[in-house]
Structure 1
Amino acid sequence: MTLDWNLIESSVPLLAAGLLTTLRISSIAMLLGLALGAVLGLCSLSRSATVRFCVRAYVDFIRGTPLLIQIFLVYFALPEIGINLPEFWAGVIALGLNAAGFLSEIFRAGLTSIEKGQAEAARSVGMRHHQILLHVLLPQSLRTVLPPATNELISLVKGSALLSVISVYELTRAGQAVIAVHFAPFEIFILIALYYYLTVSALAWLSRWLERKLPAW
């Protein structure tokens, strides 16, 4: 099979524009997921059984339903209750809420991995439960949390391809637009795969670099 190199060359900047949207969505969604995931992770260690149950129910829902269905719920179901979101922000929120469910478990595992003596020492000097979580356990858990959190970011980048179904002009949707005009799926999908591969490889390298830079507690 002969590749159409002219098409590939002309498609590179078009797909690059889609990749920028993919990175924007994934970055904002990851920040949302980290913030909400950290709160949920802390709440999962709450002394309140009701709070722990609510967190568990949310995490089970996120982990037990496909990301595509969650995207549809945000984009198509929320307007039924008066919440209308543009495609871009619907994608960000859907990915962010999905990431939060997984990140909350990552934070919970990181917090519980810290030696119990740390919490007991903090308690002995008068620190309260929430202060121990925020000021003692959470900072020390960062080194443990970083690798799986980066894996979640990688999953977000790949999962963002599903946003093409709600017409978000990310990398996959940009490729579909080129294919619709030129009818050359082989070349374009190979190029899309290369973009994703290079992006994921860069994120994996960044994760290893940050892990080396973090202080060992």
Structure 2
Amino acid sequence: MFDYTFQWKQVLARLPKMLDGAMVTMEVAVLSMLIGIVLAIVLTVMRRSGSRPLAAFATIWVEVARNTPALFQIYMAHFGIASFGIHFSPFTSLLIGITFNNAGYLAENFRGALKAIPETQTRAGRSLGMTSSQSFRFIILPQMLRIAFLPMTNQMVWAILMTSLGVTVGMNTDLYGVTQDLNALTFRTFELFAIAAVIFYIITKVITLGARLAAARLFRY
């Protein structure tokens, strides 16, 4: 028989703490994306460099990031590296793990975007007197980022959801960690996690909608 009594008022009183956790979640996600985009560009250049060691390093990074669980990557950042005497805070470990994952997926997205750009673009830049690096920086890179814009949005959403894995390494200041602590304090499991799910949903929907509006405005032609 269903005899659960909902205590929404008790849980809503703790909503400010959950929103503070949501801000930490956004901080981790945004930082991991910004650093991940830079690293992904570097990995893309390394794969195109013609150097076998650099290309092999970049390929291994992408393969590990895309073919192992994100939880494994976060664990390695927190517990694996600690085996060598290097210790990171839960926040830093979570950031490293998600950034590693983002960089791998984004590098693969960028590789696909590059295939959509005709080789004649590079030759056109060279014919104007540009070096290979200048041609990539001023002609290829902007087009690559434009093509990969919406996939980057999807990765941002994924980064936000991945922050919930931080609880496994002791992260308790993000949205999921705060919710977990409040649950241990109040035992209002359904109400707390329902509200957390709504907050996650709103964040991801706002980002998705914002990205679509930005794409429609920035990439009209």
Q: TM-score range, shorter-chain basis?
A: over 0.9
TM-score normalised by the chain length of structure 1? 0.94
Stretch of structure 1 that moved more, 135-144 or 68-77: 135-144
Q: What is aligned with 1:166? A: 169
Structure 2 alignment gaps of length 5 or more: none
State the Cα distance separating 1:2 from its structure 2 match.
4.2
Q: How far apart, CA to CA, are the structure 1 residues paired with 2:47 and 2:116?
A: 14
Stretch of structure 1 that moved more, 15-24 or 103-112: 103-112
Q: What is aligned with 2:217? A: 213
Q: Is the 8 A contact 1:34 1:100 kept in 2?
A: yes
State the Cα distance separating 1:44 from its structure 2 match.
1.7
1:1-217 matched pairs, under 5 angstroms: 1-168=4-171, 169-215=173-219
Indicate the RMSD between aligned Cα atoms, in angstroms. Answer: 1.5
Q: Is the 8 A contact 1:143 1:214 kept in 2?
A: no
Identity fraction in percent: 28
- Which residue type is aligned with residue 200 of structure 1? T
Structure 1 alignment gaps of length 5 or more: none
Q: How far apart, CA to CA, are the structure 2 residues paired with 1:48 and 1:131?
A: 19
Stretch of structure 1 that moved more, 201-210 or 106-115: 106-115
Q: How far apart, CA to CA, are the structure 1 residues paired with 2:113 and 2:186?
A: 49
Stretch of structure 1 that moved more, 35-44 or 116-125: 116-125
State the Cα distance separating 1:128 from its structure 2 match.
2.9
State the Cα distance separating 1:117 from its structure 2 match.
1.6
Q: How far apart, CA to CA, are the structure 1 residues paired with 2:7 and 2:193?
A: 13
Count residues in correspondence: 217
Q: How far apart, CA to CA, are the structure 1 residues paired with 2:77 and 2:16?
A: 30
Q: How far apart, CA to CA, are the structure 1 residues paired with 2:126 and 2:50?
A: 15
Q: How far apart, CA to CA, are the structure 1 residues paired with 2:63 and 2:220?
A: 32
- Which residue type is aligned with residue 120 of structure 2? G
State the Cα distance separating 1:149 from its structure 2 match.
0.4
